[in-house]
Amino acid sequence: MSTATTPARRPADDSAWAPLTSRVFRALWIVQLVSNVGGWMQTVGAQWLLVGHDAALLTLVQTAASLPVVLLALPSGVLADRHDRRAVLLAAQAAMAAVATALAVLAFAGALTPGPLLALTFLLGCGTAVMGPAWQAVQPSLVDRRQLGQVAALGAVSMNTARAVGPAIGGAVVAAAGAGWVFAFNAASFLGVALVLKRWRGPVPEGGPGGPTGGSSGGRSGGRGGAREEGLLAAVQAGRRYVRNAPGVRRVLLRTALFVPGAGALWALLPLVARRSLGLGPGGYGLLLGAVGVGAVGGAFALPALRRRLGADGTLTAGTLVLAGVLAVLATVRVPWLVGLVLLPAGVAWIVVLSTLNAAVQTRLPGWVRARALAVHLLVFQGGQAVTAPLWGVLSDGPGTTTALLAAGALLLAGAAAALRLPLHDADGVDPTPSAHWPVPPLAVEPGGADGPVLVTVVHRVAPEHRTAFAARMRRVAGSRRRTGALTWGLYQDGGEPERFVETYLVPSWTEHLAQHAGRLTAGDRRDEEAARALLLPGTVPVVTHAFDVTAGRFPVGG
């Protein structure tokens, strides 16, 4: 299998396997599948080493794995947006291989007590947190954008195929030879991913040295205000500002937040169900996890048909209701084979919800902020599990596992009811294709990248019959300005010349404003601007000026 070049884009099709026609994506998908198998083998080993302790300690395995995403998601997104994403992925794989090797050595030596186990699991989670935004952000550069739904489903197929076989293999290995061997296999699987990444040649993925909006599109923003001058804090703030002013992305995050706390109880409490309610050993627990994985793989194939039949919102609601029902069964049924059978639809529900949410956020994001916005999505998803997992453990130690499972199911039902009033925004009109349609601003004095804030003023002259419509259309332009860097925005009508409308917005620095000119604007932003400017007086054009704050002394008053 060659990964020497980036493949040409093929026409998008509807089949679940279409993205695998990309050689690079296919190679990465296969090795990631093997790595996911190793990850699930390790999960079984780590949880089973703690299953004899109290429930709160056991559920801390999930917290230790998820908490790093809460802490590192946004910095990791900045890292992936500003540097070669392949290099970021390579570094993360090497670090995780080292941590997994340490786990194996301690396990073979009989020195893996709960403290080191949770600490090393936390470090593995740090590697996952660094890798996650880069891995998700690089995928749209490998396949046709119209295949992102299939990409999300194939990612879930990989994870859940691994969930189907990894826990069963891991449970058998733990029972036969000890946990050290599952940790060793996991370390080797990371090296396999690193090998494929190392062989990958061709244009640098988006976010690398080739440019912020396309791997082979040339350099970053030119001049002294280039994107490389953007500091870490400024980059994090730019990502947050984008998400805060992107209603479609915010709605996806909200739907994720409604789903994760209750759904996460499945993973937090399933070891306790296996041991306490069903009396199973590590092999039996692995088979239960495998049942979820088998169902998830089947769900990936059913997902395109479900979306066509139910739509995105209907698919999310159906998946949530099914998972709530499964938790109720886990709370009340004590027959192992029946529990295993019920876990099949749990896998279907899990994959259809996660794939739908992931595709919904991916299709809305422009390249310059993709990794940061995906990091926020990961933060909500993993953070919800990290925070609620120990709470489910405490509830299980107190009133009992049955009560905890029923409470989680009730939380899912409440979330499904609330979601009926919070539909996903239509993504058909979203076009995140980069559009460098703003000319380079002509200035008499060349500012430095840190100079600012910059007050941008745009004067529009509007015919009397179009003024109300113009003000309405400019509200969409306001969203664009804020997403791409504006701290504040306003639109004012001149009292002396009613046809004169003055738009103002404040950008933190000249670097941020140059980024608006070269990389941050999209085809959708251009469409909104053109819709508003179509209402201007014939023969007039907007007049733009740039003014710099001089109170800090960074912009010379006297030249």
240-261: pLDDT as tens digits: 899 999 999 999 999 999 999 9
3-state helix, strand, coil in the chain (%, to 5): 70, 5, 25
Q: CA-CA distance, 459 to 474, in Å (whole number)?
A: 13
Q: Which residues of the chain have pLDDT under 70?
A: 1-16, 51-56, 58, 140, 143-150, 152-153, 156, 160, 163-164, 201-231, 427-429, 552-559
Q: Which of 38, 86, 67 is nearest to 125 (CA)?
A: 67
Q: Are 267 and 385 in contact (CB under 8 A)?
A: yes
Tokens of 23: 């050689």
Q: Are 130 and 92 in contact (CB under 8 A)?
A: yes
pLDDT on residue 220: 32
Residues pairing with 434 in the sheet: 522
Predicted TM-score (pTM) of this structure: 0.73
Q: Which of 80, 183, 93 is nearest to 136 (CA)?
A: 80
pLDDT on residue 77: 83
The secondary structure of 177-232, three-state, reads HCHHHHHHHHHHHHHHHHHHHHHCCCCCCCCCCCCCCCCCCCCCCCHHHCHHHCCH
Q: CA-CA distance, 500 to 502, in Å (whole number)?
A: 7
DSSP code at position 10: P
Spatial CB neighbours of 44, under 8 Å, sequence gap ≥ 6: 166, 167, 170, 171, 174, 182, 282, 285, 286, 289
Q: Which of 42, 182, 179 is nearest to 109 (CA)?
A: 179
The secondary structure of 122-139, three-state, reads HHHHHHHHHHHHHHHHHH
Q: Are 328 and 405 in contact (CB under 8 A)?
A: yes
Strands of 500-507's sheet in order across: 488-493, 500-507, 454-461, 543-548
Is the N-terminal amide bond of 336 cis, ω within 30° of 0? no
The region, left, alpha or beta by phi > 0 then psi within -120 to 50, assigned to residue 403 is alpha
Q: Which of 414, 71, 64, 69 is nearest to 259 (CA)?
A: 414
Q: E-assigned strands of 330-469?
A: 454-461
Characterize the bridge pairing of strands 488-493 and 543-548. unpaired
pLDDT on residue 219: 31
> Sign of the CA dihedral 117, 118, 121, 122?
negative
Q: Which residues of 161-190 are buried (b: 16+ CB within 10 A; e: fewer)?
A: bbbbbbbbbbbbbbeeeebbbbbbbbbebb
3-state secondary structure of 452: coil
pLDDT on residue 182: 87
pLDDT on residue 329: 95
Helices (H) and strands (E) in the chain, counts: 16, 4
Q: Are 167 and 282 in contact (CB under 8 A)?
A: no
pLDDT on residue 56: 67
